[in-house]
Amino acid sequence: MNYARFLTATSAARRPSAIRMLNELLIRAPKSVISLATGSPNPSMFPFKTAVITTEDGKTIQFDEEMMKRALQYSQTAGIPELLSWLKQLQVKLHNPPTIHYPSSQGQMDICVTSGSQDGLNKVFEMTINRGDNVLLNEPVYSGTLHALLPLGCNIINVCSDEYGIIPNSLKEILSKWKPEDSKNPKKNTPKFLYTIPNGSNPTGNSLTSDRKKEIYELARKYDFLIIEDDPYYFLQFNKPWAPTFLSMDVDGRVIRTDSFSKILSSGLRIGFVTGPKTLIERIVLHMQVATLHTSTFTQLLVAQLLYQWGEEGFLAHVDRVIDFYRNQKDALLVAAEKWLSGLAEWHVPTAGMFIWIKIKGIYDVKKLIKEKAIKKEILMVPGNDFYIDSSAPSPYFRASFSLASPEQMDVAFQRLAELIKESL
């Protein structure tokens, strides 16, 4: 892999922060070292002294005075060592990436902790995209991704998809305008990457099949582009066994994978992690050194202690409990949809995630219905046009989330919606 061709001039120009490097050296140094170097604040001035956090099983996580001093202080940019170690073991257990034992110069798997996966994604985009670059994704797509990409001035090329995710033949057709060897010629402007949410896609709830992933990965090899595997709903797959990931297929070191604890531990803790080729992860870490410095030490320590207390088996048992909850929520929304929207709308049953993508029949554009009339009836949903590159284009779709509402609330919401649809037809 020639990683240099994927880097923007800004990313390539990043250099290690001397102060950050000194700070990380101090963290690892023995207590006998006398530091007059870093500007770390004196922990005796921190007003917080101890903490006890109780988990759902009644156990506690203790922050004594020494631990609290560490939790409230600066820490390593890539993540605290014990959390990084646990996450690396998890990625090997779940995905067994072929690159785990590669030399660091040849795409060896590395990992860093980010302030949620959105933070990691933004840094990946800014690392790779020059104005005018071609990037691939499948509409409809998570609006946060569009809001991150559009200001960067890239050409976003839509790859057609259906209820089983990206259609490989559509991707082949788009790529056929280039020759495979064109990737070596910067003037040919071959696509930099393909972005996809492979499981429980936001907003559609669709998931990519294993066979399609294999075809897509081979096309990435042929035309030499990266795959950004944004997988925040990986741990919310309703059916087992879970499909193999792009990371598990990555023999070249061309997959950058973002994971999140937001959906299974806490969204407010802001803990995500990026896995990918060491050369590219290092660029992300250099960006973090001058941006966030590092993800919150306190929340990293809290999550690390919980994960070590649970172990991998306990963590996956918790994931199963979370899946059971969201499966029941999904089923309740489907019951309400069948009861009130049959004949008025159509949808596919999601296999992962938190969303159902619903098409209202007979209404060309539902934006006014969802954004004005539904709000007056005290029901909130997201109109489909918010998930397209051209958000002004009409759409008959809307996104309904089943994460928060109770089954009773879902029933009332779709009853009110059905009344509005009938009035609008």
For residue 57, give the amino acid letter. Answer: D
pLDDT band (50, 70, 90) for residue 224: very high
CATH of the domain at 384: 3.90.1150.10
268: phi then psi, degrees, rounded to nearest 5: -75, -20
Say yes or no to pLDDT of 141 above 90: yes
Residue with token string 């109780």 = 54
Average pLDDT over residues 112-126: 97
Are 77 and 293 contacting, i.e. CB atoms less than 8 angstroms apart? yes
Same domain, 108 and 147: yes
Integer Cα distance of 305 and 308 in angstroms: 5
pLDDT band (50, 70, 90) for residue 23: confident
Q: Lowest mean pLDDT of 24-33, 140-149, 223-232, 271-280, name the range.
A: 24-33
Residue with token string 């989330």 = 401
Residue with token string 């922990």 = 43
- Cα-based torsion angle of the residue sequence 136, 10, 289, 134 in order, rounded to the nearest 10 degrees: 0
Tell me the C-alpha to C-alpha distance, in Å, between residue 289 and each of 255, 273, 294.
23, 16, 7
Q: What is the pLDDT of residues 195-210, one digit of tens each?
A: 999 999 999 999 999 9
Same domain, 290 and 365: no
Contacts of 232 (CB under 8 A, 6+ apart): 117, 197, 202, 258, 259, 260, 262, 263
Say yes or no to pLDDT of 109 above 90: yes
Q: Give pLDDT, residue 408.
A: 98
Say yes or no to pLDDT of 238 above 90: yes
- Could you say which of 312, 335, 355 is where a domain stops? 312
Q: What is the pLDDT of residues 297-306, one digit of tens each?
A: 999 999 999 9
Q: Give pLDDT, residue 277.
A: 98
Integer Cα distance of 94 and 117 in angstroms: 18
Q: What is the pLDDT of residues 65-82, one digit of tens each?
A: 999 999 999 999 999 999
Q: Give pLDDT, residue 377.
A: 96
- Could you say which of 265, 294, 312 is where a domain stops? 312
Are 295 and 114 contacting, i.e. CB atoms less than 8 angstroms apart? yes
Same domain, 304 and 343: no
Reading the block at residue 17, the tokens are: 């922060």
Is residue 353 classed as helix, strand or coil in its secondary structure?
Answer: coil
What residue ranges in 226-282 does DSSP mark as E strands?
226-230, 255-260, 272-277
Reading the block at residue 266, the tokens are: 């806490």
Say yes or no to pLDDT of 353 above 90: yes
The distance from CA 224 to its chain's CA centroid, rounded to whole angstroms, is 23
Same domain, 268 and 399: no
Burial grade of 121 (CB within 10 A; 0-12, 13-18, 19 or more): buried
Average pLDDT over residues 103-113: 94
Write down how long the chain is.
425
Q: Give pLDDT, residue 10.
A: 96
Reading the block at residue 42, the tokens are: 């004196």
133 closest CA partner among 11, 15, 291: 11
Looking at residue 366, what DSSP letter applies?
-
CATH of the domain at 22: 3.40.640.10
Average pLDDT over residues 14-41: 91
Same domain, 94 and 183: yes
The average confidence (pLDDT) of the chain is: 97
Reading the block at residue 14, the tokens are: 């990043």
Say yes or no to pLDDT of 38 above 90: no
Q: Radius of gyration (Cα) for the chain, nearest Å?
A: 23
Integer Cα distance of 233 and 222 in angstroms: 28
Strands 193-196 and 226-230: parallel
pLDDT band (50, 70, 90) for residue 256: very high
Domain containing 264 equals: 3-312
Same domain, 325 and 307: no
pTM check: above 0.95: yes
Reading the block at residue 331, the tokens are: 């089923």
Domain count, the chain: 2
- Cα-based torsion angle of the residue sequence 384, 386, 392, 397 in order, rounded to the nearest 10 degrees: 0
Same domain, 214 and 324: no
Same domain, 351 and 282: no
Q: What is the pLDDT of residues 356-413, one digit of tens each?
A: 999 999 999 999 999 999 999 999 999 999 999 999 999 999 999 999 999 999 999 9
Same domain, 155 and 45: yes
251 closest CA partner among 220, 230, 281: 220
Residue with token string 């598990």 = 248
Same domain, 88 and 144: yes
Same domain, 171 and 107: yes
- Could you say which of 262, 290, 312 is where a domain stops? 312
Q: Give pLDDT, residue 105.
A: 85
Q: Give pLDDT, residue 315.
A: 98
pLDDT band (50, 70, 90) for residue 145: very high
Same domain, 299 and 409: no
